[in-house]
Structure 1
Amino acid sequence: MTRAAIEYLISDITEIERVLTDHPWLDSLLSADETSRADRFRRPTDRAAFRGAHLLFRLMAARRLGIDLREAGDIELTRRCRTCGGPHGKPEVPGAELSLSRSNDAVVVASAPESSPIGVDIEQVPGDVFPGFDDYVLGPTETLPAGGDPVRQRLDLWVCKEAAVKTTGHGLAVPPSDIEVTEVADRPSGISPGGDWTATITAPAHAELNALNLARLSCPRPYVAAVSSAQRLRVEAVGLVELLAR
């Protein structure tokens, strides 16, 4: 791992369940609270997604901190909402920056040095967006590019803005229409195996959000994903097999 890099791992539930079958000790890494919260979901897929996301979070945290993966269960995770002070919101780990997101059967976890706050988001592209999406999500001067899939373009904006507000811990306390995604002039034509810093956040009314950097992440269809960071560090993809090889 490049210590100064942002790393991310995207996986589906099927792959995570297979790894749990091959390495049953991994299931013991989840805390009693995480196991209890997972069991509250009615659908087996949702339970598996929650467990998988938090397991990957702990493994990526251990990798970032340079500790043995078998000690990932001892890592202290805390949550504190910056809006209400409640025990929810962005998960925090001493000595590292991490963020997680899940959508249906896909999960993504990103990690960075402690000095670089990050936020990550992944969403499955639906057949259509909800009524009023543009009024809620698009900023006053934002327009969709000509051509392409308009639903996918809208979801791309959504994950970029979600990643940004997760970086600062604001969440949707800041309306998505308050911030705009501004493409960089030298935006690459494609997405690298890691990610390219293709845009920035413009949010004059929110100083912490204004000028955050955005990288689109390479992920399987029908998903879109993005990571946000105050620093333009190198973005590197990590595979589950690579992660467990340690």
Structure 2
Amino acid sequence: MSGRILLVSGTGTDVGKTVVTAAVAALAVAAGERAAVLKPAQTGVAEGEPGDLARVRALVPEVTTRELARYPAPLAPDTAARLAGAPPVTPGEVARAALRLAREHDLVLVEGAGGLLVRFAGSGTLADVAAELGAAVLVVATAGLGTLNHTALTTEALAVRELGCAGVVVGSWPRCPDLAARCNLADLPAVTRVPLLGAVPEGAGSLAPERFTGVARHTLAPELGGEWHSPEP
């Protein structure tokens, strides 16, 4: 029997996608599940340097991690692969790797590169991986001004392709949220028509594993294994 597969996409780059991925994995591990994180393509990091999966392992030491390809240029995977003279990772390769991990794990998280339609190979994107697997996508968004548009575009792209959206998580909730951020907690579900499933605080990625799991529990919704509830509109 295969485990669950959940894809994680940002609305763009630097939105807290890796920390949210680690938080979902941490709660699965705390619940006694075997969790794995698959990074199809790591860009902007040279061989031997710590990438996104090193950060995941630091936060969740018990998790299994796998990286399929690494390209040094900080660009979209398809472009970075071309500049490196290396083969790109295709959506089919990503899907097959996820299915292999699912045979031995209860939960497999596939962390994309930037946004949903960033290209892995040719025109192939994380959306194509989701279609091949029949898996839902968890969208990680920013907290502040502009996030309603970016997040709605991402969830609409999923809907147009008839792909499932597990919900939205704010990837880096500020210590001192401004008016826009506070309003966005109520507005995101209304604009995207998918549930808001958490708001992980900024700085969570620097915590020790035990503390990080506690923060994940209090800032992710029950659908992701936590205790957080979206504020009433």
When normalised by structure 1's length, the TM-score is 0.29
When normalised by structure 2's length, the TM-score is 0.31
Which structure has the larger Rg? Answer: 1
More helix by share: 2
